[in-house]
Structures are given as C-alpha cells and as structure tokens.
C-alpha cells in the first residue's frame, strides 16, 4: 500500500483519535503536537510519505490500546514495520503496565542497533524532537523539569548518548550530529555524569 497525502491525512486522524486527550509529559500540550513535529522532521530530512505516515503513528502502539496488527491492517506492512521498530514495549505490555524504564531502554537499544535505515530516520526524528523540547524546558525552568521523567539525569544522559551512537551510519550525518549535540547540551545543563551499565 503506497502512502500518499490522503494516507497521511488519514493517519493524522487515526492518531488523534487514538491518543485522545493525552498531553506531553508534565505539560498541557496536546500529544498530537509531538506527532506532527516528528512527521514534519521526517520530511525535512528527506523521508517519504510512508515514513511521514509512520511518524504520525509511531507512539500509537506504545501509548494507546491500538495494536500493531491494527496499524498494519489500516496502513500497510511498510508503515507497520516502522511503527513496530519505534515501539519500546513488548506485546504483553499495556500503556498502564510497562516494564521498568531501564529494562525497556536496554531492550530498545538492542533493537535499535539492527533496525533498517527507513525506521532509523523516523526514530532519530522522534528522539530529536524529544530532546529539543527537553532542552528548551531545562533552559526555561531548570532542573525541576527532570521531575516529570522516570529516570534520573545520569541514566537519561546514558540513553541519549547510546541512541545517538546506535543510529550512526544509518541516518544523515547532520541528524546524527544533532542528536549527539543534544546529549552534550543535556549534560551541560544538568551537570549529569553518565550512568554506566556496569554500575548496576
């Protein structure tokens, strides 16, 4: 199923209904804002309409009752594969019952090292928007911003650096450099020293 502008519009409606009244963590910003931003970034970094469609849906399996099978049935296997690669929860997890943060992120990083370039672009744009908004909030509101997250700054820094490293060579160099730069700005703004895997 080739994605076109009609598919993109249908995906936006699908995502808006699925995410409902969800907001960005710790804010009153409608969640759909993030989805639109990520889809726009995908297009700006030379992604195609199928990737932009997947970007609108990238959190729908992870954060709503929608299943990956439903995504595939509605938008095709290409979109479904990308959405699956963007998802860090397992088939037995639900939005209200997920594994601990560190277990999910370790598993996700393992998966990230083997995803294809098409998925990698969407994932990179998602992480770029996440870190962009986090950095803005840190600059405006200081360290109190970190209170809305499930992991302390040293582990967040480990994750940001690990994602940037895992995507190297499979996304445009400029995009990967921005992810790495954002990780270092996060370190500077928080004073965090990276948590290490061998620290437990």
Active site residues: 62-63
Joined together, the tokens standing for residue 13 give 């409606």
∠ CA(144), CA(128), CA(92), 5° rounding? Answer: 85
| Residue 2 vs residues 36, 45, 49, 130: alpha-carbon distances, Å | 20, 20, 9, 28
CB 160 within 8 A of CB 179: yes
Burial letters 146-177, b for 16+ CB under 10 A, else e: beeeebebbbbbbbbbbbbebbeebbeeebbe
């Amino acid at each position: 199923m080739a994605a076109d502008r009609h598919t993109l519009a249908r995906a936006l409606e699908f995502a808006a209904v699925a995410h409902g009244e969800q907001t960005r963590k710790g804010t009153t910003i409608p969640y759909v804002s993030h989805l639109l931003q990520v889809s726009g970034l995908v297009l700006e970094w030379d992604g195609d309409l199928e990737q932009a469609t997947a970007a609108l849906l990238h959190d729908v399996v992870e954060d709503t009752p929608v299943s990956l099978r439903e995504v595939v049935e509605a938008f095709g296997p290409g979109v479904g594969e990308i959405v699956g690669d963007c998802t860090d929860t397992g088939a037995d997890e639900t939005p209200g019952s997920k594994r601990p943060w560190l277990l999910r992120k370790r598993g996700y990083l393992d998966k990230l090292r083997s995803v294809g370039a098409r998925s990698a672009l969407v994932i990179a744009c998602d992480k770029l928007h996440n870190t962009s908004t986090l950095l803005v909030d840190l600059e405006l509101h200081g360290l109190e911003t970190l209170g809305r997250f499930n992991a302390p700054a040293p582990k967040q820094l480990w994750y940001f650096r690990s994602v940037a490293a895992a995507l190297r060579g499979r996304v445009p160099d400029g995009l990967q450099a921005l992810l790495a730069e954002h990780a270092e700005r996060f370190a500077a703004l928080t004073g965090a020293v990276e948590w290490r895997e061998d620290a437990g």
